[in-house]
Amino acid sequence: MSASDLVDDVDDVEVPEADRLRGELETLREENERLRAEYARAKQSQYRRSAATLAAIGVLALLAGVVVADARTVLFALGGTGVFLGVLTYFLTPERFISASVGEAVYASFAENESKAIAELGLESEWVYVPRTDSDRETSAKSVTDVRLFVPQHAEYDVPADDELSNRFVVADNGRRRGIALQPTAADLYTAFEQAVTGEPDEDPAAVMAQLGDALVEQFELVGSVDSEVDSAAGHASVRVDGSALGRLDRVDHPVTSLLGVGLATVSGRSVSVEVAPADDAGTEYVVSCSWPVEDGGDAV
């Protein structure tokens, strides 16, 4: 019996039965809190055991370096690395863990709201991730590029100009450029990806798709596996995704598809159209198709 069922039944029973149901409800709440706390402690213990293991290996390598003179340099290097990684892992242990079901519930509400807004505005079910160069930002190196999610009003559309994408509602003189421009769900995820990757993200679409796939599995733990095939000459990438932690990928601006679209748009400097289709009847595998123009002279579709 769920907590909501207990609450609904309380008002329809006599006082002794209502007291019993309230007691069961309180017990369920306490048990839920206990399980959440236990899960967090288990995850923290796992991180800290890893930290202790790394530090112990580092100390052993340092001690061995004192004894074995011939390999002292290598052992000292390994020992210092082990101790450093152990300390780093210990202090970077997350203090709070959010379950996948909570993240999926939050995203589901967001997707429902945006889907209804898009339907009421009469827009197309087309997701186009458009890179936008913002000359107002200060940078010591190259110009800073961000990405907008453009949902067009017409099936045959033109990508809006930079200044038009600054507005939430894109009302251009050219009807083919009308629609809405949104901040992609994965905008901050891509920033985290850029910070985590060694050096700069690769500019080759095939290489960056491999990097993004690794990030989805290892860094963000949003999916179980990613397998991508990229044809850079044709401007097309097909990505098979399995085991999404946030439910169905065929909803508006899903974080997984959003990260792929934002990443490709950023490195290619071109608008990227994203389509999603289920790959099995169980709804656990999806194929994400990304397309971008490769010829010079515009992004018209």
Whether residue 156 is found in the same domain as residue 259: yes
Residue 299 within any structural domain of the chain: no
Residues forming a β-bridge with 231: 236
CA distance linking residue 154 with residue 275, whole number of Å: 16
pLDDT score at 10 = 46
Percentage, residues of the chain above pLDDT 90? 33
Q: In sequence order, which residues have a C-beta less than 8 Å from that of residue 102 and are 6 or more positions away? A: none
CA distance linking residue 171 with residue 199, whole number of Å: 39
Which of 45-54, 112-121, 178-187 has the lowest average pLDDT? 45-54
Domain termination site, one of 27, 57, 91: 91
Residue 124 within any structural domain of the chain: yes
Q: How confident is the model at residue 43 (pLDDT cuts 50, 70, 90)?
A: low
Average pLDDT over residues 167-172: 88
Percentage, residues of the chain above pLDDT 70? 78
Q: Is residue 165 over pLDDT 60?
A: yes
Whether residue 277 is found in the same domain as residue 136: yes
pLDDT score at 29 = 74
Whether residue 87 is found in the same domain as residue 161: no
Domain termination site, one of 33, 64, 91: 91
* pLDDT, tens only, 222-249: 999 999 999 989 999 999 999 998 989 9
Whether residue 217 is found in the same domain as residue 108: yes
Domain termination site, one of 91, 121, 142: 91
| CA 236 from centre of chain | 21
Whether residue 75 is found in the same domain as residue 165: no
* pLDDT, tens only, 252-273: 999 999 999 999 999 888 999 9
CA distance linking residue 214 with residue 226, whole number of Å: 8
Whether residue 147 is found in the same domain as residue 10: no
Domains identified in the chain, total number? 2
Residue 273 within any structural domain of the chain: yes
pLDDT score at 149 = 95
Residue 226 within any structural domain of the chain: yes
Which domain covers residue 254, as residue numbers?
Answer: 104-291
